[in-house]
Amino acid sequence: MKWKLIVIVAFIYQNGFSQGISSILDKSTNPGEVLVEFDNRSVELKGSYYLLNDWQIGNVVFKSGASVVNQWVNYDLECDILEVKLVDLVKVVPLMVIDNFIVSESEIKKRSFKPCSNYLLNNAVPLVGLCEVIDSNYFGLMIKYTAAIKKATYVPALDMGKKEDEKIVRQKYFLTIGNNAVALPRKKQLLIDLFAPYQDNLTLYMKENKLNYKNRHDLLILLGYLNTLLDH
């Protein structure tokens, strides 16, 4: 009888470890379910809050009128600071003292950035953060960048999904009318209504040229057309 008991205990021991320790802990042995499973693997926060994928040569103009040219720069969206990499150190510049900065991705492609606070929302409140100017005309376009964390999607019961939270950079398009900023509408009619008294012209132009304002290239064509109407 004794040897049978030993066999049963050994079987439970082996079976418990093969299925995980929680499989042999029922409510009688784990009152209140105070013993829970846990994963002892470390979780690393992946991604980056930097605007640019890598350091790029840039020119910075300060609100004081001073400037720094041909230096390696990158922008930290979490802290809203521009980083300038010198020979043996990195200096940081808060957004509040910057008028604008331009980075060169190539000899022909340049990107221009400025504080969003230069533009007002419809309640006369300044926009916050950093914006990239895509079209600087009276009817213009810019992108506002923000840092965020994309939550992990891991489901322990299914052992599926990403275990790590991830740092990401989000962007949102804004139309500019002078120094006013309006988030790009989701509906075409709302877009057309923004450009009084040119609604009829805009509607006809979009129809004749088969333009989709949600396509960035088409949107820039529309804004170019609207700016030509200012002279008439």
Give the global pTM: 0.75
Give pLDDT, residue 161: 62
Give pLDDT, residue 8: 44
The answer to whether 183 touches 153, Cβ cutoff 8 Å, is no
Give pLDDT, residue 44: 66
Residues 31-55: b if buried by 16+ CB within 10 A, e if exposed: eeeeeeeeeeeeeeeeebbbbeeeb
| Helix, strand or coil, per DSSP, at residue 191 | helix
The answer to whether 29 touches 21, Cβ cutoff 8 Å, is no
Give pLDDT, residue 42: 47
Kindly state the helix (H) or strand (E) to which residue 207 belongs, with its residue range. Answer: helix 199-209
Integer angstrom CA distances of residue 150 from 41, 45, 153, 157: 20, 10, 9, 21
Instruction: Name the residue type at position 142.
Output: M
d(Cα 17, Cα 126) in Å, to the nearest integer? 61
The answer to whether 71 touches 85, Cβ cutoff 8 Å, is yes
| Helix, strand or coil, per DSSP, at residue 5 | helix
Integer angstrom CA distances of residue 26 from 6, 35, 37, 210: 21, 10, 13, 66
Residues in the chain: 232
Averaged over successive runs of 10 residues, the pLDDT of the chain (232 residues) comes to: 44 44 46 50 71 95 95 95 92 95 89 96 92 97 91 67 77 96 96 94 97 97 96 72
Place of tokens 């950079």: 169
